[in-house]
Amino acid sequence: MEPRQRALLQRRLGAFRAAAWSLVLALAAIYAWLQIARHAEFREIALEQAVKVRAIPAPRGLILDRNGQRLVDNRRALHLVIQREDLPSKPAVVAALAEALGMDPAALTRKIQAYRSAGKGLPLVLEENMDESDIAVAERIRARFPFLSMEVAPRRVYLGGELAGHVLGYVGEVGEELLKAKPGLYHLGEIIGKDGYEASGNARLEGTDGQKRILVDQLGHEVASFGQVDAVPGHTVYLTLDAGLQKVLEDAYQGQAGAAVVLDLRDGGVLAMYSSPSYDPNLFLNRLSQDMVDRYLRNPTRPMLNRAIQGIYAPGSTFKLLIALAALEKGVITPNTVIYCAGHKNFYGRDFRCDKPTGHGALNLVQAIAQSCDVYFYTVASMLDIDDIYATAQKYGLTVPTGIDLPHEKTPRIPSRAWKAKADPRDPKWYAGETISVGIGQGAVGLTPIALARFYAMLATKGKLLTPHLFMGLRNDQTDTLEPAPPLPVKDTGLDPRIWSVLDEGLDQVVQSGTAAENPFVRQVAQATPFVGKTGTAQVAAFVSKAEYARQAKNLKDHALFAGYAPREHPQIAFAVVVENAGFGSTAAAPIAAKVVKYWFADRLTHPIPAPQGPLTDPYSPAAPAETP
């Protein structure tokens, strides 16, 4: 090669080497810039793709009865979920997933869109509380859709089944309406109380979710953990319920519709509340089948209705004590006022019948209460103005809800002129003849069982108006003892002791020699534990004769009621019992009340429920006798 060519080649090779080194140096500079100057930025991006934050759902607090018996517990459950960052966006994928899960594609699409727009939070749950067969199916589905994952979460368990379904309620995912109504308070996918004490006590029962940071591989499987913040469980709550007494009511109703409430006269605590037909809250933890929807939500017997606080019943003769109270306070009668009952009496051109066709004869007030004479109370009601009756009911707490710590309590219906004008604008005038029916607890008047129980608790405590409640206190996890709830205010109505003694005597005679004494079991229990009360029979449909009544369908039969307190001396409990379409209060409702008395004052003490760990004791136990109210 000629020298000139060799020189040219050397120059070209030098230029190439210079370019090559320039490229290497440029690459080195870029690499150094990426690895050093932007190291933190790219590390964060990589971690965001490989390290995921997973919420740890907090277990809800346990619910115990007053003796520490568990009513609601938690169990571990396995859910099939989609994490928020893995939510599919292709319509074909969503449709295929919906088909595999047996879901409506449109509904699944809406849920995915809602979760995508909601930002960070809990994953979208597709299948809840899976058993072994569900897990096997889910694993096959996950093979087709790798973005699905399994998640362990706490599941609510209602240990008594239907024992206290209406009181406890149930939990479920927060709905869209509540999310819109209270923005920021809840987040999508959160489990909250939907009814009963689960709803009203939600703030106490819900815990604080935790979170963990995990490293995942390209398939989304966890390969390492970067630490976690543990979830904080909700508070363990004691309710005032006595599980044994609740069981007595469940057994006593034997499938008959109605409701019963038993109150603690010291503070208004609800010792038992049963509504029949009841329901098992465990059934509402998963998506309901159509059969379940029809069975519970569309059932004409309305098993989801808590009749104890939402059922409005004509109180029948149990209301006669309020009429007597109004008449005595207004001075239109005295305890010695005698009225003659011939079996019927005409008022304003209409004949009003007594339950005893042959009549009771001449009766004073105590005798009229004991024999439940309708003519006596028709006559007393005719001496009163309807607004006088309303004012007395208002004074003794019957015109407003009781304030129990449960959602959706109904307001009692006590008629007045103002009420009639609002309820019936086409015929707003109150007629004197309408007051006659109110005098025996019929017509427009309607009470919830808990309102009736509260009224008789007021009589038992000689005028103290208590606030029924379920919350008894929280468990201190360090000492495993009860931290009691602060006492609720008690209103003194100023009931005249002389009037009270007359009413008390009348209620005593009901059980000793009156309408309730007709039942042998009631007499037997009253001999062991003297208790007082008033029978009631509330007419559902009109009939001409008892023969016609006997031919009426079951749903047209009278409601049976009994309300009272026990024992007569230094009473501890008050109660109200309603049995729908069961006939007379003495045959259907009074025996249930007698079973309540028998359990509370005899069976409970001879066969006590085991106490919880720690110093918490039953204040009604023999070792700690109750204070007299």
Residues with a known catalytic role: 317
Nearest in space to 317 (alpha carbons), one of 62, 593, 534? 534
Cis before residue 567, ω within 30 degrees of 0? yes
Question: What residues form DSSP beta bridges with 76?
Answer: 154
Q: What DSSP line would sit under 163-175, residue for residue? A: TTHHHH--EEEPP
d(CA 468, CA 261) in angstroms, rounded, equals 10
Hey, CA dihedral for 513, 514, 518, 522, is it positive or negative? Answer: negative
d(CA 303, CA 296) in angstroms, rounded, equals 6
d(CA 297, CA 284) in angstroms, rounded, equals 11
- Contact 100/82 with Cβ under 8 angstroms? no
**2: Cβ–Cβ under 8 A, 6 or more apart, which residues?**
none
d(CA 303, CA 310) in angstroms, rounded, equals 12
Strand runs labelled E in 99-165: 124-127, 148-158
Neighbour tally for 586: CB within 10 Å:
22
Q: Which residue has the tokens 């459950």?
A: 77
User: What H or E segment, with its residue span, contains residue 472?
Assistant: strand 471-476
DSSP secondary structure letter of residue 447: B
Give 67-87 as a 3 state SS string.
CCCEEEEEEEEEEEEECHHHC
- Contact 57/231 with Cβ under 8 angstroms? yes
d(CA 476, CA 236) in angstroms, rounded, equals 8
Is residue 51 classed exposed, middle or buried when 0-12, 13-18 and 19+ CB atoms within 10 A define those classes? middle
d(CA 275, CA 309) in angstroms, rounded, equals 9
DSSP secondary structure letter of residue 319: G
